[in-house]
Amino acid sequence: MKAVILGGTTGIGRAIARRLAERGDSVFLLAREVDDLTRSAEDLTARHPKREPVGHALCDLERPEGFAAALDAADAALGGFDAVIVTAGLFATQDALEADIEFTRRLVTVNYANTVVFCEHARKRLLTRGGGRLAVFSSVAGDRGRKPVAIYGSSKAGLSVYLEALDHKFHAQGLSVLCVKPGFVKTGMTAGLKPPPFAGDPEQVARDVVRAMDRRRPMLYTPGMWALVMLVIRWLPRFVMRKINF
Amino acid sequence: MNPRTTPTLSGWGRLPAPGVEKLSEDLERLTRGAALTRGLGRSYGDSSLPAKADDLVACSRMADRILGFDPETGVLRAEAGFSLVELNRLFMPRGWFSPVTPGTKFVTLGGMVASDVHGKNHHVEGCFGAHVRSLRMRLADDSIVDCGPEQEPELFDATVGGMGLTGHILEVEFSLARIPSRWIHMESERMPSIDEFLAGLGRAAPAFPMTMGWIDCLHRGRSMGRGILMAGRWAEASEAGELAPRAAHPLTMPVDLPNLAINDLTVAAFNALYYWKHLRRRATTLVAPDPFFYPLDAILEWNRVYGPRGFTQYQCVIPRQAGAPAVREFMDLLTKLGGASPLCVIKDCGPEGRGMLSFPLEGTSIAVDMAVSPQIQSIVDRLNEFVIAAGGRIYLTKDRFTRPEHYRAMEPRLERFLAAREKYDPHRKLRSGQSVRLLGDVA
């Protein structure tokens, strides 16, 4: 794989980048801070069996005007990428979002509108070279309207529907789109929250994601237990959802 | 306080203290204003626990990037949360290994510096700090400085073995050691008594770069201190063959055992089995590094066997000048006082390093696990009194019960450390449960 990873310097993105680099895949990093990027690139270079220098470029999901240039830089460095992975996004608890209308606007814009725009840039480039792989992090929170994730979940719901449609539409042209739905994963994003049962760690999720990309799967619940949990949640009747606080 | 609702942190010995740790990949930002940094929580006692519940405790675990590796010289620079388990996984196949490794691989580089860890090769290679070239630290005044053996040597010497009390370690640069293969050539020998054990350790030290022994600490009388001496060196490529050791698949201790699971009977049975498993008096084998260096890492969360009461480890070093009789007397006292423990380890240490509070000194180190019981304080007191009289000292990384007056009595180097602390942290912003207990910091 020649993979571009938006968000590859932290959390699950970092774990995926390491997994790919350690098995010899080429990796290019996109993130918001230069110092963070150079440090992560050095980390991946040291882990790559051939010590292949890992390239990087600035890219901020809040600045869609920079998307094209960032992907051009990745293309140039990798000699044409064939995989794009998006783990970046914003998160806050429902309480925090309800208290901060401006952050709500930013979160919904980043997680839905700007992520879709980024994927459109990536998708077009991949299709011109006969397809490839696009793996994007949505969330189990997008599967059902739920009290504790009303705003965050809705941004991910929109993203999930977009990714599903993309897979339907371009599958025949060789583009495999993977919609990743992580459950609770112990990362910096969720630090400070109490982990529920079946909480995953970034390495475990990274392993699942890379395997699903290799097999060109369209959807992945990870850790796997969440597929079962969400199956039940999706079928719960409305009057039950109103009562429970999950 | 209700222990069910108050969040707590605990060391490896499982005695909790109220507090929470903050996690982030960005350790530099995280440590701003923090009272303490902790890594993987493998120190046994209260050295990685907050002095009070609302102290900001930064956890370095997610700051785990390699920042540079030179395959010519083996110099590695990494963020402080980079762990030994990752180091081994990535670099052993390439022919490199940590110059010094403690008895668990679940430690961070920052923790290895703060504890100035030692290993089976202490008599040859010294402590981990002897191989550190440079540290980047956040000091109590929030400034960020680099130090090393030549640069800011006072800060460096106070930090190596300084239990995190001089500043937050952000980055560590040190030299890896070349290894000729991924196997250990081990020679082991059953030792019927403490005197033969000490003689055996003395014989093995010049011949082998790595030595240590396991002692059956329940046996008394003539076979007191019987056990198994293990000496090893890295196998040459020609001896080791092509095969790589199988990747370790550790089991996880799924539940807390009841408090009394570790008792005289179960430990006597375990010890007898372990001792007599070594049927021949002497054996030579090729072993993988994992079971050689980290036998206990084969069971994750093994500390749960002691049950919810928790446990501590008593580790001290008895100086060479005190001689073999002192070690024999100590073992006699230990077997008289000590509760049953499946783990009792003896090791020859080389000369003292430059870390101001670094543990090892030339002599014999003995480490023994002890369940927490109502008698634990008096047992630790009695052992400490013996160690003070013998001119030895204890290992802070393991300690939870030593009294401040005992610590002062065994640590003539403390003045120098306190002077360095006065210089770099005059307001004692950096503190831990241990520094409150032993150094009189205000909680």
CB contact under 8 A, B66 and A192: no
* Residue in the block written with tokens 């994007």: A136
pLDDT at A199: 87
Residue B71 is assigned to a structural domain of this protein: no
Nearest to B48 by CA among B4, B114, B102: B114
Looking at the complex, does the CB of residue A14 fall below 8 Å from at least one CB of chain B?
yes
Could you report the per-residue pLDDT of B352-372, keeping only the tens digit for each?
A: 999 999 999 999 999 999 999
Residue the block writes with tokens 């006292």: B333
Chain A, 158-197: which have a CB under 8 Å from a chain B CB?
A: 187-188, 191-192
Given a contact cutoff of 8 angstroms between Cβ atoms, the answer to whether B110 and B60 are in contact is yes
- Euclidean distance between CA atoms B9 and B52, whole angstroms: 11
Beta carbons within 10 angstroms of residue A220's beta carbon: 23
**Across all residues in chain B, what is the average pLDDT?**
94
- CA of B434: how far to CAs of B44, B45, B117, B414, in Å? 11, 8, 18, 14
Q: What confidence score (pLDDT) does residue B5 get?
A: 66
How near does any CA of chain B get to the CA of A26, in Å? 18
Q: Residue A183 burial by CB count (10 A; 0-12/13-18/19+): exposed, middle or buried?
A: buried
d(CA A89, CA A187): 13
- With a cut of 50, which residues of chain A have pLDDT below it? none
Residues of B in contact with A51 (CB under 8 A): 71
Q: What confidence category does residue B1 fall into, taking pLDDT thresholds of 50, 70 and 90?
A: very low
Enumerate residues 6+ apart whose C-beta is below 8 A from B219: B225, B226, B271, B335
Interface contact B24-A42, CB threshold 8 A: no
Pair B166, B424: CB distance under 8 Å: yes
* Chain A residues closer than 8 Å to B23 by CB: 188, 191-192
- Burial (CB count <10 Å: 0-12, 13-18, 19+), residue A36: middle
Q: Mean of the pLDDT values across residues B276-292?
A: 92
The model's pLDDT over A95-127, given as tens digits with 9 standing for 90+, comes to 999 999 999 999 999 999 999 999 999 999 999
Contact A140, A183 (CB under 8 A): yes
Q: How far is A22 from chain B (nearest CA, A)?
A: 9
Whether residue A192 and residue B71 make contact (CB cut-off 8 A), yes or no, is: no
- Provide the H-helix boundaries in B128-190: 153-159
Q: Report if residue B195 sits inside a domain.
A: yes
Q: Is residue B62 part of a domain?
A: no
Residue B3 pLDDT > 70, yes or no? no
Asked if the model's pLDDT at residue B172 lies above 70, the reply is yes
Residue A25's nearest CA partner among A166, A246, A213 is A213
- Span B21-69, pLDDT tens digits: 999 999 999 999 999 999 999 999 999 999 999 999 999 999 999 999 9
Residue B2 has pLDDT above 70, yes or no: no
CATH label of the domain that carries residue B236: 3.30.70.2520
Cβ contact, residue pair A188, B22, below 8 Å: no
Domain presence at residue B193: yes
Output the pLDDT for position B240.
Answer: 86
Measured from the Cβ of residue A34, the count of other Cβ atoms closer than 10 Å reads 11
b/e sequence B289-298, b meaning 16+ C-beta within 10 Å: bbebbbeebe
* Alpha carbon distance B297, B301 (integer Å): 8
Is pLDDT at B221 greater than 90 in this prediction? no
Between chains, do A188 and B67 touch, taking CB under 8 Å as contact? Answer: no
pLDDT in tens, A205-219: 999 999 999 999 999
Mean pLDDT within B242-262: 87
Residue A63, min C-alpha distance to chain B (Å): 23
* Domain total in chain B: 1
User: Which of B25, B69, B90 shows the shortest C-beta gap to A10?
Assistant: B25
Domain ranges of chain A: 2-243
Q: Nearest 5°: phi and psi at B370?
A: -140, 130
Query: Active site includes A152?
Result: yes
User: Is position B329 within any domain?
Assistant: yes
| Structural domain range at position B222 | 184-403
Q: Tens digits of per-residue pLDDT, B371-421?
A: 999 999 999 999 999 999 999 999 999 999 999 999 999 999 999 999 999
The percentage of residues in chain B with a pLDDT greater than 70, rounded to a whole number, is: 98
Instruction: State residue B4's pLDDT score.
Output: 55
* B217 domain residue, yes or no: yes
What is residue B345's three-state secondary structure? strand
Q: Which two tokens stand for residue B290?
A: 């994992």
Chain A contact present for B23, CB below 8 A: yes
Q: Which CATH homologous superfamily contains domain A2-243?
A: NAD(P)-binding Rossmann-like Domain (3.40.50.720)
| Structural contact between residues A21 and A47, judged by C-beta atoms closer than 8 angstroms | yes
Using an 8 Å CB-CB cutoff, list chain B residues near A46: 66, 68-69, 90
Per the model's pLDDT, the better-predicted residue between B264 and B421 turns out to be: B421
| Helix or strand (DSSP H, E) at B399 | none
B62 touching chain A per CB within 8 A: yes
A40 at B interface, C-beta within 8 A: yes
**What gap in Å lies between CA B230 and CA B282, rounded to an integer?**
10
List the structure tokens of A76: 């140039």
Task: Please choose, from the candidates B110, B7, B117, the residue with its C-alpha nearest in 3D space to the C-alpha of residue B59.
Answer: B110
